[in-house]
Amino acid sequence: MTHLDAFRPRTVLTLDPVARNGWHLKRYAILADGRDYAEDIATAAADAALARLPDAGALENPDGNHGVGFQIIHFAQVAVVVPTFYWQWGSVLAHSDQIRAPWSNPTRFETGKTEVFGCIWEMEIVTFEVQAWTATMLSGQGTPGANRETYLSRVAV
């Protein structure tokens, strides 16, 4: 694969969400050609992301994060790349530093490129998540708790 090859979709898997330390994270895996899903890598990615996220805020708090977000575990060609995003201030999508693990040690995650937001395949999921958040949490209908459960049940695949 070269950096300007023709775009081809990649397999996207919906993983079980994580509810830990006050956080509610949807989780996805993206599989590049020749890469297989591995549960131990996904578990290590969740642990590494949760260790880097700020303290989870309350859903009703307008001045901080809402303890709700999503994680993408990209079994990419060059490494396991894991962007993690979360919602704050009602309508702002924030992200923790990108983390990545080399294929030589795929469960050891370190900080990756902090300026990177995500790749084309990851942005498809981000787009879906923005639309799901808008349609549920910012709908003007229902209660925050019920809307959060609806948001968490909507997945990109």
Q: Within 13 Å, how many C-alpha atoms sit on residue 144's CB side?
A: 9
Question: What integer pLDDT is reported at residue 28 of this predicted model?
Answer: 98
Question: What integer pLDDT is reported at residue 39 of this predicted model?
Answer: 98
Total structural domains within the chain: 1
Q: Is residue 128 part of a domain?
A: yes
Q: What is the pLDDT of residues 43-96, one digit of tens each?
A: 999 999 999 999 999 999 999 999 999 999 999 999 999 999 999 999 999 998
Q: Is residue 42 part of a domain?
A: yes
Domain that holds residue 126: 11-153
Tell me the mean pLDDT in the region 103-111: 95
Question: What integer pLDDT is reported at residue 53 of this predicted model?
Answer: 96
Q: Is residue 45 part of a domain?
A: yes
Question: What integer pLDDT is reported at residue 1 of this predicted model?
Answer: 62
Q: What is the pLDDT of residues 14-41, one digit of tens each?
A: 999 999 999 999 999 999 999 999 999 9
Give CA separation, 148 vs 61, 64, 71, 105, in Å.
14, 16, 16, 35
Tell me the mean pLDDT in the region 1-20: 89
Q: Is residue 37 part of a domain?
A: yes
- The set of residues, in sequence order, having a beta carbon less than 8 Å from that of 80 and lying 6+ positions away, is 41, 45, 73, 74, 100, 101, 103, 106, 109
Q: Is residue 41 part of a domain?
A: yes
Q: Is residue 4 part of a domain?
A: no
Q: Is residue 142 part of a domain?
A: yes
Residue 142 has pLDDT above 70, yes or no: yes
Q: Is residue 17 part of a domain?
A: yes
Model pTM above 0.85 = yes
Question: What integer pLDDT is reported at residue 112 of this predicted model?
Answer: 80
Dihedral, CA of residue 34, residue 40, residue 42 and residue 43, to nearest 10: 180
